[in-house]
Structure 1
Amino acid sequence: MKRLTRRWPAARRLRALLLALGLLGAAVAAQALPSYDEVRRAHRPSDTQVLDRHGELLHTVRTDPSARRGDWLTLDQVSPALRLALLLSEDRRFYEHSGVDWQAVSAAAWGNLWNSRTRGASTLTMQLAGLLDGDWRAGPGGRSVVQKLGQTVAAQVLERHWRKDQILEAYLNLVPFRGELVGLDALSRSLFGKAAHGLDEREAAVAVALLRAPNARLPVLVRRACGVLTELQRLGDPGRAAPDCQALDLWVGAALQRPALEPSRGLAPHFARLALRQQSQGGRALVALKTPLSAPVQRFAVQSLQRQLRELAGRQVEDGAVLVLDNASGEVLAWVGSSGDLSRASEVDAVLAPRQPGSTLKPFLYAQALAEKRLTAASLIDDSAAQLPTASGLYIPQNYDHRFKGWVSVRTALAASLNVPAVRTLTQVTPDAFHRQLLRLGLPLRESGDYFGYSLALGSAEVPLLRLTNAYRVLANGGRFSEPVWQLPGPGTPARAPGPVVLDPRAAWLVGDMLSDAQARGRTFGSDSVLATRFWSAVKTGTSKDMRDNWALGWSARYTVGVWVGNARGQAMREVSGTSGAAPVWAEVMGFLHAHEPSRAPAPPPGLVSTEVRFALPERAQAAGQWPEAPRREWFLQGTEQTRFAVTEPAAQVEGRLSARIAEPAEGTVLALDPDIPPQHQRVLFRASSWPAGSARGSAAARASAGLQWRLDGRAVARGGEWRWLPWPGRHRVQLSDARGQLLHEITLEVRGAGVRAGVDPPGGPTQAPAAALR
């Protein structure tokens, strides 16, 4: 027994020593509490605000999933009812004590002694200390003695360095409420759907009741809220009747069942997420992000698209997208990625989704043909039935209305969006060359030109609205390419260098002049279509195969606007044409942009000349109802101008240049040699498909084909429209040129297997045999 009694004083001394050390550590930790300014600067809302170019709020995106925090509120942004309810419920002597309410501490101790219930002794300052330093927060079993003492010291330190209004303000912004809600701003907007300065007595009582037990059951919460509300009302009017707690029960239940704030809300959901994703790559958290978008333009584009889609609701169309670019800077002024609530795939960003562009690729095709001087704006092309041989069979293009217009000029063919003339033009340019041009314009085509073949003229590839609209912006900028901009340059950022010229400026201007010609457009769209604006603009529509996509793209002197209408899920629309689908939205948005801003036609660049032209058709064509176009003044690339364009029997006397391509074999063909078959029986037929520009096949085509030249791996090997080659193992490049040596088309192929036996023709095959002898 003596040995045991000697241990107790030692144990008490050890506990006293540990308590002293704990108090010392608590005191040191309390002195390290942050300042008010540091706490306020460190506050980050859980949502990031995406602003337009003028600072107007466009969209709000949840960027912190750990908690829902709102903006930092100053005391003048908090309703007086809430401030009064907080002090009545949590800290009546807040403005009297110096961090610790010793009267409340004494009352709490006396109540614990006699097992009676009293109000807690923890002041708002002590609670704030626990919010600022996790060491003072209560654990599952409550606070330890050291934590309580440390919290007491920390509260007094706060009172010495912070003002009372700063303590109250910080507490309201940092205190956790129900669920994930932290701070009064998040609670007010989520639970009551209003800002904190508008909270009334009933809402203030519920908010304060949530502080004691944020996740308490509804009856407990209502009982506490009713008590606070009763005190508030008696303080303001002692004779006022007690509140109806039963009605409060129903109201609180409804408030707690309010749906949580959506993680993304506003005008530009798709663009906001894209902009924040780009910005977050720098690793810096943002409270607000300023973007080049214009809130008025974005708002109008959303409304216009939704209004148009509601009108098309009975035609099986529910999705759409709108993009507006500034011509000079490339800045995105509007980005509408979907129709929102009207869509069952609203999360799909149709500005970035690849879709078939239909006829909207034609302007780039004609621009290339003009730049290469294969055609002029007045050249005549036969819009009639055509059957074009391809590696997979005959390609038979059709016009949208399944009617042919006969002989038309290039101006009419482009403005009226005729399909057959576009395909005939592609036979001159060749799919490979056109494919390379589209790549230079920034269109992300995965497959080669030969993969698409002649259908590339009619938009069989898939491109996103963003890239297609920017390609039209290249036309607006005279053939100069630059990337679209969706981030505003920071202070001191150097100006962007001018982009490369990827298209002849003269051809780009000519295409814009043709697409702005309402008279030329009338053959298909009529003289008073929705495409006609009261100011200068150039526009092109397009519809993809099976009516799955409808487009309208065009530009004015300052803006380029692209619109897509269709279904994100891929279903075909019903009876939706270029002028009834996307074009009305394009016209409305363009009209809004130029409501108070003029748009004048651009001046022609150097190298263009204008002259009067006349057209003539043979009597047989006129007897069939085809009439030549009226005389007019036309623009030409210098050196290509002429005054008369006539069609003779049976071909067009246009420019007399040859259009040709290698019809067979196809690009990328792989040939396998069989050593058991005589070499003479393994010759490969190379055949050219050619005719003079704008004409049907006939004697002129036969005469022109005689001037074709074939080259194998850079060496001339044959002339004429056909050539039979004795294959040799390896990879080879075959080129087809005209009589002047200008390259028309080229392909690559591979030959596998053993070589031919000795004593036969060399690898190049017979080089001097005339075409007739090779057939």
Structure 2
Amino acid sequence: MWRQAALACLYSQLCSLLPYAVNPAYGGELSDFARFKAASLSSDATLYDRNGQVLQRLRVDMQERKLAWVRLEDISPAVRNALIASEDKRFYEHSGVDWSAVAASAWGNLWNTRTRGASTITMQLAGLLEQDLRRKAGSRSLAQKVNQAWVAQTLERNWKKDQILEAYLNLVPFRGELVGIHALSQVMFQKHPSGLDYIEAAIAVALLRGPNATEAKVTERACQILREQKQPGLCANLEGQVRLAFAQLSRGLAVAGNFSNETAVANLAPHFARKVLSLQQREFRSSLSRSLQVYARDSLVRHLSALADRNVEDGAVLVLDNATGEILAWVGSSGQLSDASQVDGVQALRQAGSTLKPFLYQMALENRLITAASVLDDTPVNLSTSNGLYIPQNYDKHFKGLVSARTALASSLNIPAVRLLVSLQPEAFFQRLRALGMDLRESGSYYGYSLALGSADISLLQLTNAYRALANQGSYTPVKWSVAEPGTAPTQVMQAGASYIVSDILSDRAARSVTFGLESALSTRVWTAVKTGTSKDMRDNWCIGYSDRYTVGVWVGNASGAPMWDVSGVTGAAPVWQDVMHYLHRSRPQRIIAPPNGLVRQTIRYDNALEAERSEWFLAGTAQSQIQLGTSHQIQPHILYPKAGMIAALDPDIPLERQRIRIAAYSERGMLVLDGKKLTASLNPKKELSYDWFPFPGRHVLSLLDAEGYLQDQIVFEVRGAQMKAPR
């Protein structure tokens, strides 16, 4: 009698509240299950390779952790059975509201006894779908409960029972940030929901009633769920399994954004993913190749592991398709080898070193200041700048004297490059680099002559794409991130013939042997043009080169900026570059970039057999057959001796009047000035000025001026020894 009265009272309350409590908006958009399913987004965004294979999952929604929607048929039946046994035994019988359970709950409340509650799975789903019905602190108001029942009945009219179950299991929150059975299954059990067994399903469903319950409480609830499914024998092993599941859950929740197994197999391009994925862009079909990405990453890690004792831990690899500009591989770091694995080495700005020299030589060839056969001067030079003297050095601290432009570029000699920039001027070269996509922060005058040696900070992405322009004979386009991205009309930034000559030089194994030897990591089984670079104090080294089809760029260093120990471009970055290039061409035949129109092939000979006779490429109108050393306009006036920074010591065992220092300079019509006083120097047939100077202790400045009195070279040196007066 009392139970019937309570049920009647409840019906009366519901009926009286319906006209006021039911919001017409509730249930108005619940007719389309497919729309809700499509609108349910994972907290992760997914990056695919060019063939549709998963490369990376990246968390972009920091409010919750949820994986992709799973169909009910892809969820273990054990989960469905446990859910219905625990939460809604008459799920397949009621139409959204279980009035028998409502009556039982009302009766229990009247006599202050505990019952399971009257909220069905459908009502719980209504509370998840409608923002205003979501449970806040405390219980729902009576008006909310009425509206919840109304929405539940609307769902039952429009959705199938299996759709309601599917939606509930995908949207229900579990412990912490985890939402949906897919996320819980991956983190807590490290498996897909389809693989959950009876015990795992019972543990998962037990968490629904109390997401923050203790292990003991979850064990108790899970055992009860198993008993209700006629599986009491499984309770014997339950405590240990709950302990293991909680341990895995704690580890998974401690690592924000990682979904255990799922990210282990989809963590191949994190830096690229962060560039293209966002809340708005949850899926992206990239131009990357999964197999190439894996190989490039593994090659980088393997070679950097071998350099662990040389204080190097970071690196990056970029592979571009020459024709399309598509990014085929983007490895931003060495992963676990690095203390800064989140830093993207492909986009980080680092000193370019000698990698800018090919663009300088191309510009000089294009402007017909030199040919590939021109003789350049690799002897010390001192350049007066607004910040004082600029005294560049070669990498090995040695000077080669007179060399051809081909040898100077291929062997990466510094002094000839600086002399070329003096002729071209830093601002003009700066503008050329900008046109090639290098977003330099300063101006040409800021970098000065050091720009020839790569003093500017440039990213691997910008630098590699500029080399791709060389491979395409001066034609520049931006890179493409996706195969679906439309192409951009190319811009002819560099003259085609001069670009081809630079490519031919960079592919010349003999020309680079002066510095690198005939066999090195720069040599490949197929035709390739390649250049290395090392920045000041060995903080960065690079290897960038191309074949007819691909351009590969590699950077090796430390994200912290710490110097490496005896690691150059040819020992650090080049082995990785060679590895990747061989992989790219493992099944492709040998192909050489064809020369464009406007080039002439000519056999050349040098006076005094300076270099061996060879066949050389020339721009039309610049060809030579005999290179005369004495008439080369590229040999700039300079001081030959003393050397800059030299310290000379007087010998006490030799009479002072017999001690002399031979001062010499290469200049046909110049004058030598020492400490402000002109020296009466003599000129020999080799066009060398010379003067035998009586030395005295102190710091001395020697200048070489031209006939008009303009400074051409200047050095500072020191003499030490017994004190004496300078001769009058």
- Choose from 596, 610, 617 the match for 1:635: 617
Equivalent residue for 1:395?
390
Deviation of the 1:97 alpha carbon: 2.5
Equivalent residue for 2:94?
97
Equivalent residue for 2:244?
251
CA contact (8 A) 2:322 2:468 kept: yes
- TM-score, normalization by structure 1: 0.77
1:595 has 2:571 as partner: no
* CA spacing shift, 1:372–1:697, aligned 2, 3 Å: farther
Deviation of the 1:454 alpha carbon: 2.6
RMSD, aligned CA = 2.9
Segment of structure 1 superposing worse, 305-314 or 344-353:
344-353
1:22 has 2:14 as partner: no
The 1-side partners of 2:567 and 2:120 are apart by: 69
1:653 has 2:631 as partner: yes
- Choose from 121, 124, 130 the match for 1:124: 121
Does the residue aligned with 2:57 lie in a helix, a strand or coil?
A: strand
* CA spacing shift, 1:575–1:528, aligned 2, 3 Å: same
Equivalent residue for 2:702?
none
Equivalent residue for 1:616?
607
Equivalent residue for 1:498?
490
Deviation of the 1:164 alpha carbon: 1.1
Structure 1 residue runs of 5 or longer lacking an equivalent are: 1-14, 618-626, 662-694, 704-719, 725-735, 737-775
* CA spacing shift, 1:583–1:17, aligned 2, 3 Å: closer
Deviation of the 1:508 alpha carbon: 0.4
1:192-211 alignment runs, 5 A limit = 192-211=189-208
* CA spacing shift, 1:514–1:160, aligned 2, 3 Å: same
Deviation of the 1:241 alpha carbon: 6.3
- Choose from 36, 58, 78 the match for 2:75: 78
The 2-side partners of 1:41 and 1:397 are apart by: 63
Deviation of the 1:303 alpha carbon: 1.2
CA contact (8 A) 2:521 2:574 kept: yes
Deviation of the 1:204 alpha carbon: 0.7
Equivalent residue for 2:660?
none
Equivalent residue for 1:453?
448
The 1-side partners of 2:504 and 2:21 are apart by: 81
Deviation of the 1:31 alpha carbon: 4.7
* CA spacing shift, 1:430–1:721, aligned 2, 3 Å: farther
1:733-744 alignment runs, 5 A limit = none
CA contact (8 A) 2:637 2:667 kept: no
Equivalent residue for 1:551?
542
The 2-side partners of 1:342 and 1:241 are apart by: 44
Q: What residue identity is the alignment partner of 2:631?
A: Q
1:576 has 2:567 as partner: yes
1:516 has 2:507 as partner: yes
1:698 has 2:667 as partner: yes
Q: Deviations over 1:245-286 (max 9, x none)?
A: 442453343233223254375122222111126xx6xxxx23
Segment of structure 1 superposing worse, 36-45 or 19-28:
19-28
Equivalent residue for 2:596?
605
Deviation of the 1:47 alpha carbon: 1.0
Deviation of the 1:550 alpha carbon: 0.5
* CA spacing shift, 1:594–1:89, aligned 2, 3 Å: same
The 1-side partners of 2:439 and 2:108 are apart by: 77
* CA spacing shift, 1:16–1:212, aligned 2, 3 Å: closer
The 1-side partners of 2:245 and 2:123 are apart by: 29
CA contact (8 A) 2:375 2:635 kept: no
The 2-side partners of 1:393 and 1:28 are apart by: 80
* CA spacing shift, 1:111–1:156, aligned 2, 3 Å: same
The 2-side partners of 1:181 and 1:699 are apart by: 82
Q: What residue identity is the alignment partner of 1:497?
A: A
Equivalent residue for 1:318?
313
Does the residue aligned with 1:439 lie in a helix, a strand or coil?
A: helix
Does the residue aligned with 2:605 lie in a helix, a strand or coil?
A: strand
Segment of structure 1 superposing worse, 254-263 or 169-178:
254-263
Q: What residue identity is the alignment partner of 2:299?
A: S
Q: What residue identity is the alignment partner of 2:220?
A: R
The 2-side partners of 1:267 and 1:135 are apart by: 41
Q: Deviations over 1:331-354 (max 9, x none)?
A: 222222222221112222222222
* CA spacing shift, 1:432–1:608, aligned 2, 3 Å: same
CA contact (8 A) 2:372 2:404 kept: yes
1:263 has 2:254 as partner: no
Equivalent residue for 1:273?
274
Q: What residue identity is the alignment partner of 2:666?
A: R
Deviation of the 1:139 alpha carbon: 4.8
Does the residue aligned with 1:202 lie in a helix, a strand or coil?
A: helix
Segment of structure 1 superposing worse, 260-269 or 317-326:
260-269
Q: What residue identity is the alignment partner of 1:274?
A: K
* CA spacing shift, 1:460–1:137, aligned 2, 3 Å: closer
Equivalent residue for 1:622?
none
CA contact (8 A) 1:427 1:660 kept: no
CA contact (8 A) 2:377 2:636 kept: no
1:66 has 2:82 as partner: no
The 2-side partners of 1:146 and 1:425 are apart by: 83
CA contact (8 A) 1:222 1:248 kept: no
The 2-side partners of 1:31 and 1:526 are apart by: 77
Q: Deviations over 1:628-658 (max 9, x none)?
A: 22111111111111111132xxxx323x479
- Choose from 85, 89, 92 the match for 1:88: 85
Q: What residue identity is the alignment partner of 1:306?
A: V
1:353 has 2:344 as partner: no
The 2-side partners of 1:268 and 1:369 are apart by: 39
Segment of structure 1 superposing worse, 70-79 or 447-456:
447-456
Q: What residue identity is the alignment partner of 1:157?
A: T
The 2-side partners of 1:394 and 1:218 are apart by: 73
Q: What residue identity is the alignment partner of 1:258?
A: R
* CA spacing shift, 1:533–1:38, aligned 2, 3 Å: same
* CA spacing shift, 1:25–1:489, aligned 2, 3 Å: same
The 1-side partners of 2:13 and 2:71 are apart by: 44
Segment of structure 1 superposing worse, 594-603 or 470-479:
594-603
* CA spacing shift, 1:121–1:393, aligned 2, 3 Å: closer
Q: Deviations over 1:697-746 (max 9, x none)?
A: 3227799xxxxxxxxxxxxxxxx85379xxxxxxxxxxx9xxxxxxxxxx
* CA spacing shift, 1:595–1:382, aligned 2, 3 Å: same
Deviation of the 1:603 alpha carbon: 1.2
The 1-side partners of 2:77 and 2:40 are apart by: 23
Deviation of the 1:462 alpha carbon: 1.8
The 2-side partners of 1:54 and 1:202 are apart by: 39
1:376 has 2:371 as partner: yes
The 2-side partners of 1:135 and 1:449 are apart by: 61
Does the residue aligned with 2:317 lie in a helix, a strand or coil?
A: strand
Equivalent residue for 1:535?
526
Q: How many residues align?
A: 635
* CA spacing shift, 1:253–1:444, aligned 2, 3 Å: closer
Q: What residue identity is the alignment partner of 1:32?
A: G
Q: Deviations over 1:367-396 (max 9, x none)?
A: 111111111111112323333444444433
Does the residue aligned with 2:397 lie in a helix, a strand or coil?
A: coil
The 2-side partners of 1:241 and 1:483 are apart by: 62
Equivalent residue for 1:415?
410
- TM-score, normalization by structure 2: 0.82
Q: Deviations over 1:657-708 (max 9, x none)?
A: 79799xxxxxxxxxxxxxxxxxxxxxxxxxxxxxxxxx983227799xxxxx
Q: Deviations over 1:521-572 (max 9, x none)?
A: 1111111111111111100001111111111011111111111111111111
Deviation of the 1:610 alpha carbon: 0.5
The 2-side partners of 1:30 and 1:433 are apart by: 68
Q: Identity of aligned pairs, percent?
A: 53
CA contact (8 A) 1:537 1:599 kept: no
Deviation of the 1:612 alpha carbon: 0.8
The 2-side partners of 1:137 and 1:542 are apart by: 60
Deviation of the 1:431 alpha carbon: 2.5
Deviation of the 1:147 alpha carbon: 3.3
Equivalent residue for 1:756?
none
